[in-house]
A and B are shown apart, each in its own frame.
Chain A
Amino acid sequence: MEKHNPAYAIYSRERVGIYPGTLHQKTTSKFLFVRWLCLFAGMFLWTYAGKLIHQGQALNEISIPVFSCPFNLDQVAEVPCYYLSHLPALFGRFGADFPERNIAYGVLFIVTTLFCFIFLGRILCGFLCPAGLLQDLMDKLRQALHIRPIVVTDWLNRFLQPIKWVWILLFLGFAFAGGDFCDICPLKGFTTAQGGYWTNLYLGGFFAVVILVGSFFIKRFWCIICPMGYLMGLFKRFNLFKLKKDCTSCTECGACYHACPMRIKSIYTERDKENVQTVDCMMCGECIHKCPEDNALSMTFCGKTIYKSSRKTFMSKFSGKKE
């Protein structure tokens, strides 16, 4: 291509692909380290734990809302996606479906699900969900290859939001219409395959490929449209974890918005409110990590700050000291 052509610059071969990692952009963050640990722990819990510490499924009266398919029979602790997407079955569960599951079982199941919904909310997305981990790994892979991502600009986000609503509708309503959400569920294949179980994916297999490729180019692509995540976000007001912003410290640099996998814009434009947590926020802490202003963003647990942005930490990567 002609060198004078402005478009040349974007596609120039020299600029893409692998290059030595010279960019000083790594800052260590205990918070993010813990997040990765938890994500792997979650994956272990819902994929392999049953096989290793117990013969088959265990503790499935305790339900923790994330996306991990119970068709993998090694789950420890239950994931409510099956019953939420088959609400009629949930009401039937004290009946004849599973004779060994009694009333106490059902009550415990509902109570734990609600407890997680209300008090923990989407922090489970950021910290435990195996589907989230899968997408994060795809993103890491892309970053390692230095392939440019597809940036979800606000018009693309506006396009994705209706898709989310469709998924929510399908998730909650498909069973009432006589369908089976599991036949179209994009996540049926992953944890089951990891655990060595074979299931029939139907249309879900197609969606699985879409979100796998999607999450390579778009960070947490599925989470942007995930129905389970949305339901978990609904109770954000009661969450014990909260995302706070000190609006006087913010320079509106937009770094948090760019870093946010959920493309939450209000976090950067907000100028009055202290609480900037939205339904979409999964408490992943990426925004705090990339914010260069002292204390501008912080996460609290029961009112106590557990992680906050710091200029010192941010700038330290530029300090010029040899690593």
Chain B
Amino acid sequence: MADQSGINERQRELFIRKSTRVAAAYLKRAKELAELPDAAKPFFDVLENTYVNNVKEITGLEYTSPSDFTRCGAELLRMADIQKPEERKSIGTLCVMVPAELVYAAGAMPVRLCSGSYTAYSIGDDYIPRDACPLVKAVMGFGKIKALPAFDNCSLLVAPVTCDCKKKLAGTIDSVKDTIPLHIPPLKKDDADTEIFLKELYRLIPLLENVTGKQVTAKSLAEGINMVGNAQYEMSEFLKYRRHDLSLMSGTQVMAVMNAYSYMPANIWAEQMHRLNEEMKLRLSQGRFVSRKNQPRILVTGSPIAFPNIKVPLLIEEMGGVLAADETCMGERGLYDPVSVIDASFDGMMRSLASRYTKPCTCPVFVDNSQRIYRIKQMIKEHKIQGVIYHVLRGCLVYDYEYQLMEEAMGKMDIPIIRVESDYNEEDVEQLRIRIEAFIELIKMRTSA
């Protein structure tokens, strides 16, 4: 395979050196933003193990292949009381619309592979047309260079057919790894559409079972729902702390914590989240805030912000803004909506999954997505947001499309909004910095006037 892609040893070494350096640098910057809660450190370790350490271990073509448990690191495993991590298959998912519950029910671990690696992006650039979105290029890049164990360990990819770039990615990445395209209906209000997605999920079951060799049963599905539900419970507890007028934790760090969920088993993530919640409670009672009263509270929304591409949230906070909330799929959105099981039969649970993964999803690939505006309005109210930064990845048409509607809606609410476009490289950082700084100044002026 390595020869086919025309990537030689030296290139791979160069790649690894560069990509680990970038990832490590971003992690460092995120940690330095504000005092990192102790309980948040393991999440950062997971990101480090995924993007820095494991990659470093590569010796030539061989590298130790860490399972999803070893990615968590020794400390988390000790706390979770796991002595000998069981071997289990990983299933790569390329979007939040793949039901994690179902993957867990099949006895596998879902790994979200949407990546923000600049180095992988530059590799993927050779295989994907120039105007396509960088996220897709980064995923393709990792597929080709084989230097991200989290990716290479996956036995199968599940790629929802959402935007055009993802659609073509689902078709082309199949040459690197077995891929199941998952059809997402472009409309969702009609029952017939949910029915289509339900059939897709049913189709997915035997395909997953073939990989894992385990049965999806009513019991295992119920357990999967409970497990992910528990993670969502901890997350909704955490959101209560995040809604506090003064921040208890830097927003970029929160996004990193959410991102770590992509690479961790949901139960271990939930347990650690519980500890983080307790620390938040302590911080609240001691009045240890990381923001001051007159700092502008900003919401970031738009194209996915996947680690290590966290320059926008970093810049917001380094320029003196408070990243009070995010409406992005690698952040809050992936875990916000719970499964509401109406009927406890197997079919009932499948239906609940099908509707939970499409109906409340505010992804702009749906034809009518006015509900995203409602969701943002709701967040503005809950998090007392003063300004919105609308992030568009270069080439991400669907999000760009919705900017106008969003601008109109924000205009009516008298909430300032700017659109910032970025790519997977560091060349646009200066320009972003200037724009974000000006925006933050603008909000400061508005509030003091």
Residue ranges of A at the interface with B (Cβ–Cβ < 8 Å): 3-10, 14-17, 19-25, 143, 146-149, 151, 153-155, 247-255, 258-259, 268-269, 271, 290-292, 311, 314-320
The count of chain B contact residues (Cβ–Cβ below 8 Å) is 55
**A contact residues around B338 at 8 Å (CB):** 292, 314-315, 318
**B contact residues around A259 at 8 Å (CB):** 340, 342
**A contact residues around B223 at 8 Å (CB):** 22
Question: Known contacts A146-B218, A153-B192: does B232 contact A315 (CB below 8 Å)?
Answer: yes
In the bound complex, do residue A25 and residue B233 qualify as a contact, i.e. CB atoms below 8 Å apart? no
In the bound complex, do residue B226 and residue A318 qualify as a contact, i.e. CB atoms below 8 Å apart? yes
Report the separation of the CA atoms of residues A292 and B233 in the bound assembly, to the nearest whole angstrom: 11
> B367 contacts the other chain (Cβ, under 8 Å)?
no
Task: Beyond A247-B374, A252-B360, list 7 extra A-B contacts (CB 8 Å).
Answer: A15-B217, A17-B218, A23-B225, A147-B345, A148-B348, A315-B237, A318-B232
Report the separation of the CA atoms of residues A249 and B232 in the bound assembly, to the nearest whole angstrom: 18
**A contact residues around B355 at 8 Å (CB):** 253-255, 258
Looking at chain A's contact residues, the main secondary structure is loop
> B155 contacts the other chain (Cβ, under 8 Å)?
no
Cβ proximity bits B341-384 to A, threshold 8 Å, 1 near / 0 not: 11111111101100110011000000000110011011001000
In the bound complex, do residue B230 and residue A320 qualify as a contact, i.e. CB atoms below 8 Å apart? yes
The 7 sampled A-B contact pairs (Cβ below 8 Å) are A6-B203, A10-B347, A24-B229, A148-B347, A253-B355, A258-B342, A320-B230
> B186 contacts the other chain (Cβ, under 8 Å)?
no
> B206 contacts the other chain (Cβ, under 8 Å)?
yes
Report the separation of the CA atoms of residues A14 and B230 in the bound assembly, to the nearest whole angstrom: 25
**B contact residues around A314 at 8 Å (CB):** 338, 340
- The closest CB in chain A to the CB of B343 belongs to A149
Report the separation of the CA atoms of residues A151 and B381 in the bound assembly, to the nearest whole angstrom: 36
A124 to chain B, nearest CB (A): 24
In the bound complex, do residue B345 and residue A149 qualify as a contact, i.e. CB atoms below 8 Å apart? yes
- The closest CB in chain A to the CB of B215 belongs to A14
Question: Known contacts A258-B342, A259-B342, A269-B189: does B349 contact A23 (CB below 8 Å)?
Answer: yes
B residues 202-246 with Cβ under 8 Å of A? 202-203, 205-206, 209-210, 215-219, 222-223, 225-226, 229-230, 232-233, 236-237
> B190 contacts the other chain (Cβ, under 8 Å)?
yes
Report the separation of the CA atoms of residues A259 and B340 in the bound assembly, to the nearest whole angstrom: 9
In the bound complex, do residue B342 and residue A255 qualify as a contact, i.e. CB atoms below 8 Å apart? yes
In the bound complex, do residue B342 and residue A311 qualify as a contact, i.e. CB atoms below 8 Å apart? no
**A contact residues around B381 at 8 Å (CB):** 248
> B337 contacts the other chain (Cβ, under 8 Å)?
yes
Report the separation of the CA atoms of residues A151 and B350 in the bound assembly, to the nearest whole angstrom: 12
Contact of A16 among B190, B199, B340, B346 (CB under 8 A): B346
**B contact residues around A5 at 8 Å (CB):** 206
In the bound complex, do residue A143 and residue B345 qualify as a contact, i.e. CB atoms below 8 Å apart? yes
Most buried by A among B225, B233, B355: B233
A279 to chain B, nearest CB (A): 20
In the bound complex, do residue B378 and residue A249 qualify as a contact, i.e. CB atoms below 8 Å apart? yes
- The closest CB in chain B to the CB of A10 belongs to B202
Question: Known contacts A315-B236, A315-B338: does B216 contact A22 (CB below 8 Å)?
Answer: no
A87 to chain B, nearest CB (A): 38
Question: Known contacts A14-B215, A15-B216: does B226 contact A24 (CB below 8 Å)?
Answer: yes
Considering the complex of A and B, which 6 residue pairs feature the smallest CB-CB distances, nearest first?
Answer: A318-B229, A255-B340, A253-B360, A148-B347, A153-B191, A23-B222
In the bound complex, do residue A252 and residue B371 qualify as a contact, i.e. CB atoms below 8 Å apart? yes
Report the separation of the CA atoms of residues A8 and B229 in the bound assembly, to the nearest whole angstrom: 27
**B contact residues around A148 at 8 Å (CB):** 343, 345-348
Most buried by B among A5, A17, A292: A292
> B270 contacts the other chain (Cβ, under 8 Å)?
yes
> B195 contacts the other chain (Cβ, under 8 Å)?
yes
Question: Known contacts A9-B206, A153-B191: does B233 contact A251 (CB below 8 Å)?
Answer: no
In the bound complex, do residue B348 and residue A253 qualify as a contact, i.e. CB atoms below 8 Å apart? no
In the bound complex, do residue A3 and residue B345 qualify as a contact, i.e. CB atoms below 8 Å apart? no
**A contact residues around B218 at 8 Å (CB):** 14-17, 19, 146
Contact of A146 among B191, B346, B370 (CB under 8 A): B346
A16 to chain B, nearest CB (A): 6
**A contact residues around B378 at 8 Å (CB):** 248-249, 251
In the bound complex, do residue B337 and residue A292 qualify as a contact, i.e. CB atoms below 8 Å apart? yes
- The closest CB in chain B to the CB of A7 belongs to B202
Question: Known contacts A5-B206, A254-B360: does B191 contact A154 (CB below 8 Å)?
Answer: yes
B residues 132-174 with Cβ under 8 Å of A? none
Report the separation of the CA atoms of residues A31 and B344 in the bound assembly, to the nearest whole angstrom: 21
A293 to chain B, nearest CB (A): 8
Most buried by A among B270, B345, B349: B345
- The closest CB in chain A to the CB of B195 belongs to A153
Contact of B351 among A23, A151, A290 (CB under 8 A): A151
**A contact residues around B192 at 8 Å (CB):** 153-155
**B contact residues around A252 at 8 Å (CB):** 359-360, 371, 374
In the bound complex, do residue B356 and residue A25 qualify as a contact, i.e. CB atoms below 8 Å apart? no
Report the separation of the CA atoms of residues A16 and B344 in the bound assembly, to the nearest whole angstrom: 10
B52 to chain A, nearest CB (A): 31
Most buried by B among A24, A25, A290: A25
**B contact residues around A311 at 8 Å (CB):** 236
**B contact residues around A17 at 8 Å (CB):** 218
- The closest CB in chain B to the CB of A5 belongs to B206
In the bound complex, do residue B222 and residue A251 qualify as a contact, i.e. CB atoms below 8 Å apart? no
**B contact residues around A4 at 8 Å (CB):** 206, 210
**A contact residues around B199 at 8 Å (CB):** 6
In the bound complex, do residue A6 and residue B202 qualify as a contact, i.e. CB atoms below 8 Å apart? yes
Contact of A248 among B189, B336, B352, B374 (CB under 8 A): B374
B334 to chain A, nearest CB (A): 14
In the bound complex, do residue B360 and residue A251 qualify as a contact, i.e. CB atoms below 8 Å apart? yes
A214 to chain B, nearest CB (A): 16
Question: Known contacts A149-B345, A155-B191: does B226 contact A271 (CB below 8 Å)?
Answer: no
- The closest CB in chain A to the CB of B191 belongs to A153
In the bound complex, do residue A25 and residue B206 qualify as a contact, i.e. CB atoms below 8 Å apart? no
In the bound complex, do residue B344 and residue A25 qualify as a contact, i.e. CB atoms below 8 Å apart? yes
Question: Known contacts A22-B223, A318-B338: does B346 contact A15 (CB below 8 Å)?
Answer: yes
**B contact residues around A23 at 8 Å (CB):** 222, 225-226, 341, 344, 349
Report the separation of the CA atoms of residues A156 and B205 in the bound assembly, to the nearest whole angstrom: 27
**A contact residues around B209 at 8 Å (CB):** 3
**B contact residues around A21 at 8 Å (CB):** 344
A247 to chain B, nearest CB (A): 7
In the bound complex, do residue B371 and residue A20 qualify as a contact, i.e. CB atoms below 8 Å apart? no
- The closest CB in chain B to the CB of A292 belongs to B338
